[in-house]
Amino acid sequence: MVLAKRAKFFDEDVYPEPEAELVGYAWLINEFQLRVPAPNSICAIVPAKNAKRSKGRWLIWGSRYQPEAHWFTQLTFALKYEGVDLAIMRSLFGALIIEDITASIKNEITGAYSRRIWFFYEWLTAQVLPIEDVTTSNYVDALNEELQFGCAKTKVSRQRINNNLPGVNGFCPLIRKTEKLVQYIEENLDEKAAKNIGNVHSDLLARAAAFLLLSDSKASYTIEGEAPPHNRIERWGKIIGQAGMQPLTVEEIERLQEVVIPDGRFILPGIRCVGGFVGEHDRVTNIPIPEHISAKPEDLDELLDAYLNAYDLMKGAGFHPVLAAAIIAFSFVIIHPLEDGNGRIHRYLIHHVLAESGFTPKGVIFPVSAVILERIEEYKAVLEQFTQPRLKYIEWQPTEDNNVHVTNETVDLYRYGDMTCQVEFLFECVKKTVDTVLPEEVLYLERYDEIWGYINNRFDMPQKSLSLLLNFLRQSNGKLSKRAKTREFSALTETEVKEIESKYQEVFLLD
């Protein structure tokens, strides 16, 4: 009896073909049993010599691309075809002996990939290898900007490398240069937004901005499943309106939390000093059931310091504001540095980065939370796309108060990663705001003013009644309800009601 070959798996995905072999980062993870999230795309080699195709998550390469089974050549393949993955490289360097690293680099000391590996080792580990500085080779970029987005370049003379990484060694998520993101950037949405509102009267724009601000504040609470009193929504809206005015610091983060949660009796305000997680508790045992586990409290000081330094670097190095906003905002909610209020401050940080960079037109806040609320399931999926693969590398125990206590080293899970998915989602939200939400709100106010003026000139009606009348018409798609006609507006004749309804439908282009 001939037994069928068992299927082979990597990171819970079956190999794309029976003869396929892992290559690049996947090979390194498998060979050295690295406890680190796998890349979003997995590379494999197949016997067909010139193959080059994709199948689901797999990128398939022909045998002519096959590197030898050694960490140095496999890492070279990864840098050439997959881009930079800092978490995998940092984990790999910890698994190798320094003599092997040194010898492999010296063997090709002037090679571009050799010098890049050398640079990444010293940059990530803060350890200096016993190798003399290179003095003759041309400078090469640390990050291949055909594959990933980089910052302005800083020359590193030791390896003759242009450091174009959008972060610091303690915090540096990366973004792949997808066709979708390139198209979004080429649209110059900031210029488009400025042009769209440039012809709007200042009074009308101020009213639109006020409405959108309040709408965004309310949506941010709704996303968290909360319905606070109106004064708290207005207060948070006012804070959003001040986004970008104060430098982003730990103290500013703590101030924002105090605004979000004015009653601090039930939490420890400020940066967490205990563990944290997002999820539920078992209904019987009350043991945590985490969907996401926050960064360890003992890692937060170092992590937040690097996070803020990375943001300063991005600001000064010409990194695109939407890319920076996604990294800063999504990383914040993933790190989860506070006991409560992380979600609302995470969305505030989108406003902060876009406003501070000048991407958002002066006096206008993009109602990103309102757009997110319309796409809430996709938003949750985008968060989980980053957090779920990391959960299995976090070891934890329940505490006496049914919190979580993380027992292994996890800080790198929050420092590095591929945030392409999160950036694409944010860009889609920004684009909808610029193309649809802002113009529609301005158009609505223009039409509202027109119908207001018409009724105000036609009838001697108090402003309070006029406002109520327009609300009834809006709620019933241009028709007055039976109740409105028999109670609040019983003084109107049937002819007058039809006249008002007809005019409203004409102005708002209703059928």
Percent of all residues in the chain with a pLDDT value above 90, rounded to a whole number: 62
Q: Domain for residue 15, yes or no?
A: yes
The pLDDT value recorded for residue 237 is 82
Query: Domain end: 46, 80, 96, which one?
Result: 96
Check whether residue 407 and residue 480 sit in a common domain: no
Q: Give the confidence band of 5 by pLDDT, cuts at 50, 70, 90.
A: low
Q: Are residues 311 and 356 in the same domain?
A: yes
- Secondary structure string (H, E, C) spanning 43-104: EEECCCCCCEEEECCEEEECHHHCCCCCHHHHHHHHHHHCCCCHHHHHHHHHHCCHHHHHHH
Same domain, 427 and 468: no
**Tens-place pLDDT, residues 474-500:** 888 889 988 888 888 988 999 999 999
Q: Are residues 259 and 351 in the same domain?
A: yes
pLDDT of residue 143: 97
Question: Of 40, 62, 96, which residue sits at a domain end?
Answer: 96
Our count of domains for the chain comes to: 3
CATH number of domain containing 252:
1.10.3290.10
Position 202 pLDDT exceeds 80: no
Go through the chain and tell me how many residues it has.
511
Contact between 304 and 335 under an 8 Å Cβ cutoff? The reply is yes
Range of the domain at 83: 10-96
Question: Do 471 and 335 share a domain, yes or no?
Answer: no
Last residue of a domain, one of 96, 116, 144: 96
Specify whether 358 is located in the same domain as 228.
yes
Q: Three-class SS of residue 289?
A: strand
Mean pLDDT confidence for 9-14: 90
**pLDDT tens digit string along 386-421?**
999 999 999 999 999 999 999 999 999 999 999 999
Same domain? For 282 and 414 the reply is yes
Regarding whether 369 and 463 lie in a shared domain, the answer is: no
Residue 58 included in any domain: yes
Residue 449 domain-assigned (yes or no): no
One domain, residues 360 and 491: no
Same domain, 378 and 346: yes
Domain shared by 485 and 428, yes or no? no
- Residue 55 contacts by C-beta under 8 Å, 6 or more apart in sequence? 16
What confidence score (pLDDT) does residue 163 get?
97
Q: Does 376 share its domain with 464?
A: no
